[in-house]
Structure 1
């Protein structure tokens, strides 16, 4: 199973993910990125700054698979959202 690394960029600062997580494919990495962003926004106090952040998902070779702005993580529904049921 491929390993994906979830790095957080806030302005010029980059918080590296040294361990990553094994996921089945890029779609699963997208879901994990969305869930990670939503969890961070629930837990952190400085949400205005976090909304300017971007989660950069890279594969084991270091190639960027996707860039997920935190601001988009708030707006996207999930299958758990009542609006979809």
Structure 2
């Protein structure tokens, strides 16, 4: 039983080392069998830009909604008063 445990530990260590070597050769930090995209930097920049845009949208949305509500109230006033 002890021999089986030692063999298992050895195999796990060997597989982990092989996976790290494979990831380093494929572009670093990637899963085994997954290579870097040809346009990796462009994809990462696009994703970063989208996340930043969503952050701005989340931050600015309450002000936009308030502005629309004021415009709706002003429009109702103009329509009902006939001015």
Q: TM-score, normalised by structure 2?
A: 0.24
Q: Greater strand percent: which structure? A: 1
Q: Greater helix percent: which structure? A: 2
Structure number with the bigger relative contact order (C-alpha 8 A, sep ≥ 6) is: 1
